[in-house]
């Protein structure tokens, strides 16, 4: 018997009740040593805020190593697990208190791995928020260099006085580039 594909199931908006947990958006304590904010807005195809989305974040430590410690769902205030989860508010905004990730390989660009859950999606969406600043590493990145120049910019965060800004556009002319992994 050959397995057959089954239809997807929309992923929301139930996750606002089941998935958030205390400290979910704080990968490090806000205002702590090295803490920065990664924030943005989730927008639909018309540019309207998506008030009931959930954004997940995975990242490397500042030295580029991948955290493997348990404890992502029970924050202890000092263990950096590299994972966070933030629900959007009525204005579609999300924010994380985190550290600036380092590149996981020499010469590669550093990035935050981002997943988005939102109403009407049949499955979660995967993307990346690249750390701006190292133009040589960004130019050499295999994913970024495979994209047309006008699409690359949808994957590169901007900076402000608090840290990084990364808006996620689900559809439309400025749609964020989303990724598909083998087996997905």
Residue 147, CA atoms < 13 Å, CB-side half-sphere: 19
Q: What do you get for the CA distance between the two ends of the chain, in Å?
A: 21
> What pLDDT score does 76 carry?
75
CATH superfamily of 15-169: Aromatic compound dioxygenase (2.60.130.10)
Q: Is the Cβ–Cβ distance between 164 and 158 less than 8 Å?
A: yes
pTM (2 decimals)? 0.88
Domain regions of the chain by residue span? 15-169
Those residues whose C-beta lies under 8 Å from the C-beta of residue 3, and which sit 6 or more positions away, are none
pLDDT digits (tens, 9 = 90+) for 57-87: 999 999 999 988 776 666 777 788 899 999 9
Q: Is the pLDDT of residue 13 over 60?
A: no
């Amino acid at each position: 018997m050959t397995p057959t594909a089954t239809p997807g199931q929309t992923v929301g908006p139930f996750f606002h009740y089941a998935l958030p947990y205390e400290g979910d958006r704080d990968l490090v304590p806000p205002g702590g040593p090295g803490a920065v904010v990664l924030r943005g807005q989730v927008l639909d195809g018309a540019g309207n805020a998506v008030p009931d989305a959930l954004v997940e974040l995975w990242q490397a430590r500042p030295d580029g190593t991948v955290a493997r410690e348990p404890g992502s769902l029970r924050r202890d205030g000092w263990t950096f697990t590299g994972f966070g989860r933030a629900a959007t508010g009525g204005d579609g905004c999300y924010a994380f208190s985190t550290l600036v990730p380092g590149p996981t390989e020499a010469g590669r660009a550093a990035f935050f791995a981002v997943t988005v859950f939102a109403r009407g999606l049949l499955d979660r969406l995967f993307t990346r928020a690249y750390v701006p600043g190292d133009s040589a590493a960004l130019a050499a990145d295999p994913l970024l260099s495979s994209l047309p120049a006008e699409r690359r910019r949808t994957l590169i965060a901007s900076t402000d006085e608090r840290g990084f800004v990364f808006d996620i556009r689900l559809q439309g002319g400025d749609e964020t580039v989303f990724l598909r992994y083998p087996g997905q």
